Amino acid sequence: MYTKRQIVDLLNEKDEGVLRDLFRRADEVRREFAGDAVHLRGLIEFSNHCRRDCLYCGLRRSNGKAVRYRMEIPEIFSQAVEAKNLGFHTVVLQSGEDSYYTAKDLAALVRDIKESLSIAVTLSIGERTYEDYKRMKEAGADRYLLRFETTDPILFKALKPDSHYAKRFLCLRWLRELGYQLGSGSMVGLPGQTVESLAADILKYKELDLDMIGLGPYISHPDTPLAGCANGTMDMVLKVTAIARIVTRNAHMPATTASGTIDPEGRQKALQCGANVLMPNLTPRQYREHYLIYPDKICIDEEPVKCRSCVDGMAAALGRTISTDAGHSLKMARQ
Ligand code: SAH
């Protein structure tokens, strides 16, 4: 286990030999604790309405240029059926923070998906009340993704002016208590983020004992107050991925779409530095181009079936297989 100082040094490391060793070690730890099978999570971005005003995000409520859409519950269900038909064992239902969807409606949707499709359901819909989380869990939701975005409280406040740092972590605690498999994570390369705070993010993944860690580069969106800021780099994303894998060992870690956006080989590289999950976009095509948390998102024009064949090819080219099970938490005691 690394100390914070050692993590900072590795994040600053430029020597190619040292980095090659780091990445090789991360790949070995991934193989030992997560295996060679890549887990697929079918992502359905069902609404881009958001009550928040996060400075980095294209879905922020002040972005008047965003074309807003909402999928109705039956349409979300149909898309989950499509996911199942394409061989996915997990759907991730993600949206902005949109109170249009009541916990009752979402719970009914989750129950329908669980009863008729028997696939795992991950929710990623931001901060909600304890009662809402409870209701959706009781309806059968398996997992929840809520990135803490950064462990730096000052940066958090600056970038998420209408959110509260302590509340975000309280939500994570509630989700854990309620028995969700818990996913969280952060962005790499946020304006004003230091390597010390990135090191703290990695140690926080460990402390939270996450079942899943989502991390990707910050990508500057032109219609936000951070327009023109530098993007996170793939080099730094790979370092954070590799160290996070070595430190946390048995968490699921996706090679994110954001990594594929800043580098055409980004997801493949992440898969070789500790990542073991891919999240192909299964949002219906007519909505996809409008879920622009960041610009130039990849796969905007692709039909879900094409995404499926693309990721199958990607895994095969790396000598990896595609998992045939739901890919629940690797932390046995919690399953
Ligand atoms: N509303 C949900 C889902 C947010 S979108 C929630 O609050 O959890 C999913 C993730 O996209 C966010 O958690 C954030 O880490 C990431 N994201 C947002 N804007 C981004 C940007 N400009 N570049 C890279 N990632 C971004």
How many Cβ atoms are within 10 Å of 32's Cβ, its own excluded?
10
CA-nearest residue for atom 4, ligand 1, is: 96
Q: Which residues contact 39 (CB under 8 A, 6 or more apart)?
A: 89, 90, 252, 276, 277, 278, 323, 327
- 8 Å CB contact between 291 and 283: yes
Q: Residue 151 above 90 pLDDT?
A: yes
- Residue 276, SS3 per DSSP: coil
What's the pLDDT at 26? 98
Ligand 1 center from residue 258 Cα (angstroms): 10
Give the other-Cβ count within 10 Å of 49's Cβ.
17
pLDDT at residue 334 in the model: 61
Mean pLDDT, residues 256-278: 97
Q: Which atom of ligand 1 is nearest to the CA of 217?
A: 24
Distances (CA, A) of 41 to 23, 178, 192, 212: 24, 22, 31, 12
Nearest Cα to Cα of residue 51 among 128, 110, 156, 133: 128
pLDDT tens column, 82-137: 999 999 999 999 999 999 999 999 999 999 999 999 999 999 999 999 999 999 99
The rounded mean pLDDT for the chain is 97
Task: Work out the number of other CB atoms within 10 angstroms of the CB of residue 17.
Answer: 8
Burial of 9 (0-12, 13-18, 19+ CB in 10 A): middle
Residue 9 near residue 19 (C-beta atoms within 8 A): no
Find, among 35, 51, 62, the residue nearest to 275 by Cα: 35
Angle formed at CA 125 by CA 120 and CA 126, multiple of 5 degrees: 130
Phi, psi angle pair for 92, to nearest 5° = -110, 115
DSSP letter at 180 equals P
Question: Ligand 1 within 6 A of 187 CB?
Answer: yes
Which segments of the chain are extended strands (E)?
Answer: 37-40, 42-47, 90-95, 120-124, 143-145, 181-188, 212-217, 254-255, 277-278, 321-322
3-state secondary structure 242-258: HHHHHHHCCCECEECHH
* Coil vs helix vs strand at 294: coil
Residue 293 CA, ligand 1 centroid: distance in Å: 6
In this prediction, residues 56-70 reach a mean pLDDT of 98
Cite the beta strand spans of 48-180 per DSSP E. Answer: 90-95, 120-124, 143-145
Q: Separation of 57 CA from ligand 1 center, angstroms?
A: 7
Q: Above 80 in pLDDT, residue 223?
A: yes
Q: Is 293 near ligand 1, meaning CB less than 6 Å away?
A: yes
User: Could you say which architecture CATH assigns to the domain 4-330?
Assistant: Alpha-Beta Barrel (3.20)
- Order of strands, sheet of 321-322, starting from the edge strand that comes earlier in the sequence: 254-255, 277-278, 37-40, 321-322
Please give the torsion angle defined by the CA atoms of residues 139, 141, 145 and 151, in that order, rounded to the nearest 10 degrees. Answer: 60
Structure tokens at 281: 């976009």
pTM of the full structure: 0.98
Domain chopping of the chain, boundaries: 4-330
Residue 307 pLDDT level (bands cut at 50, 70, 90): confident
R_g of the chain, CA atoms, integer Å: 18
Q: How confident is the model at residue 255 (pLDDT cuts 50, 70, 90)?
A: very high
Ligand 1 within 6 A of CB of 59: no
Residue with CA at minimum distance from ligand 1 atom 2? 126
Per-residue pLDDT tens digits for 15-48: 999 999 999 999 999 999 999 999 999 999 999 9
CA of 46 relative to ligand 1 center, distance in Å: 14
Whole-Å CA distances, 220 to 56, 226, 242? 7, 6, 24
Could you give the 3-state DSSP secondary structure of residue 217? Answer: strand
Average pLDDT on 296-316 reads 89
Please name the amino acid found at residue 331.
K
Please tell me if the CB atom of residue 147 comes closer than 6 angstroms to any atom of ligand 1: yes
